[in-house]
Chain A
């Protein structure tokens, strides 16, 4: 692992290189909508941004502070519902509704924190799942407040204006692309700031050994809650973004356990407790799950002539591979976890370290 100190002080050269590389990638990403007009491709990019936001947010609590929450759907759903309810029930534009979501996520986080942080290790994990499930059931069973199982459908977004000028009317995917990009950069920036401050040191000390951290003057309650609040509020932003992008929320799509699991996987696959781990996780998982879902694998098998689509087995594959996408996805995830315990980023670092070692 690159320690804080090495990134911060004596290798400022490497740090500068990273910053320049990030800026260059950002600039390139800003120009993408000018030459990519395929809505599906833009959709995939937006999903990658969304996953990055979710992963980076979780990473602050799970990756840096070592508190493995498997209940982040609670904050995602809170952001999504708050924005949507403000939009549909109160006619408040999402860029104001987002703030309601953030405030709600703050409250939910402090309540959940006061319950779950009494527990450590696997008990904390179970409690985080349970509390998120309670929130989902409440959302489902309070139809007068949330519309219950029916969910909320956005009937249209008001155009975004500054003064009299209409900046965008949200008729294409391009504005969502830029919002997603901006939010993803925001979460990366927040993570960078955390890592390069006292907070980052205290979070990681808590992750490595709670009792040692406690005895070194770190208030466990205070710093765990700070990590949770940052993490929850950023996750709620992801939820708000999802809600206005998709235009529909209901408990299974924004509050369910599989969203919590998905968030954790982004980090585990990419590399936990690192700034760019969740980016890698999103870059790998989003295209993978899209490919599996849209049966790209079956068509690929037919294309390279491995199996004929007209044969019995080909027909079977064609009919079932798409349905099996969660299964295949799960198997791939297990393989990555088994062979790259530090995620893809950790694996790549180890490879380069080994190569350097070999040359020396």
Chain B
């Protein structure tokens, strides 16, 4: 069953089509890789899906429900959560408080939220830093905090926007394992990533965007052997 369906989504910024007639579907429980050169429209697509702004054309169906025009907070409540490519820690709050804000999406009790948040911090191995102000974390830990915070909202579908960007190989490996663990918990994921090796390893399916359009879709093997994809990536260099 498709948990997310993108149907003919376009997004225009003035004359620029950041997304042009993009369609694909996401099956329950799988990891979808979303790749493409810088400026291909990947983040814009996330923004359209999660209600940050409405698509100019087309529609987004989540669990069969039309999402167009829903505010991001409603989208989150319905079970779809996203991280930000440019991380957005709540700088003056502690790491634990950051994750608690996510957990409070589902409960009114600070006590339950605190326990839930601590659990998620253990999942990303940040529990040692629970009392630190989030603004003081190095980039690798900020990325982990983003993931812990959205996990605390108990999503069915998780959209990860370059959570490995700017990380060293050891940190990236940790995140890859984390994404596979999340899949093990039955949470569907869509992952934007530049590291081709990582995306090949974790994705069940891959969608390639180029200049806002969908260039290719298929399993990792099909996608890397697609001549259009090779041309797009070589053309960029």
Contacts and interface: CB of A to CB of B under 8 A. Distances in A.
B148 to A, nearest CB: 12
A96 to B, nearest CB: 34
Contact of B76 (A5, A198, A215): A215
A288 B92 CA distance: 31
A217 B76 contact: yes
Interface string A195-223: 01110011011001101111111111000
Interface in A1-20: 1, 3-6, 8-9
B100 A201 contact: yes
B156 to A, nearest CB: 13
B101 A201 contact: yes
Contacts of A213: 90, 101
B48 to A, nearest CB: 13
Interface string B62-101: 0000000001110111000110100011111110110011
B114 A217 contact: no
B19 to A, nearest CB: 19
A315 to B, nearest CB: 51
Interface residues of B, number: 34
B94 A6 contact: yes
- Candidate in A197, A205, A213, A217 with the most chain B CB atoms within 10 angstroms: A217
B81 to A, nearest CB: 7
Given A204-B90, A213-B101, A218 B110 contact: no
A197 B104 CA distance: 10
B188 interface: no
A217 B94 contact: no
Contact of B153 (A6, A209, A216, A219): A216
Contact of B92 (A197, A204, A214): A204
Given A1-B133, A197-B110, A216 B94 contact: no
A212 B113 CA distance: 18
Q: Per DSSP, are chain B's interface residues mostly helix, strand or loop, or mixed?
A: mixed
A215 B101 contact: no
Contact of A219 (B73, B96, B102, B150): B73
Contact of A217 (B52, B92, B110, B153): B153
A243 B222 CA distance: 77
A211 B100 contact: no
A273 B102 CA distance: 21
Chain A, interface residues (CB within 8 Å), range: 20 to 34
Contacts of A214: 71-73
A208 B91 CA distance: 6
B52 A211 contact: yes
B95 to A, nearest CB: 9
Nearest to A10: B131
Nearest to B94: A3
A341 B149 CA distance: 29
Nearest to B132: A3
Interface string B101-142: 110110010100110000000000000000101000000000
Nearest to A273: B92
B84 A198 contact: no
Contact of A220 (B73, B81, B91, B92): B73
B93 A205 contact: yes
Interface in B157-181: none
A244 to B, nearest CB: 38
Contacts of B96: 3, 5
A357 to B, nearest CB: 15
A196 B110 contact: yes
- Candidate in A196, A208, A219 with the most chain B CB atoms within 10 angstroms: A208
Given A1-B92, A6-B94, A6-B131, A215 B52 contact: yes
Given A208-B93, A213-B101, 18 more contacts: A1-B133, A3-B93, A4-B97, A5-B131, A9-B114, A198-B108, A201-B101, A201-B104, A201-B110, A204-B92, A205-B90, A208-B92, A209-B90, A214-B73, A215-B82, A217-B77, A218-B105, A219-B71
11 contacts: A4-B93, A5-B131, A6-B131, A198-B108, A204-B93, A208-B89, A208-B92, A215-B73, A217-B153, A218-B105, A220-B73
Q: Which 3 residue pairs spanning A and B have beta carbons closest together?
A: A217-B105, A208-B90, A212-B88
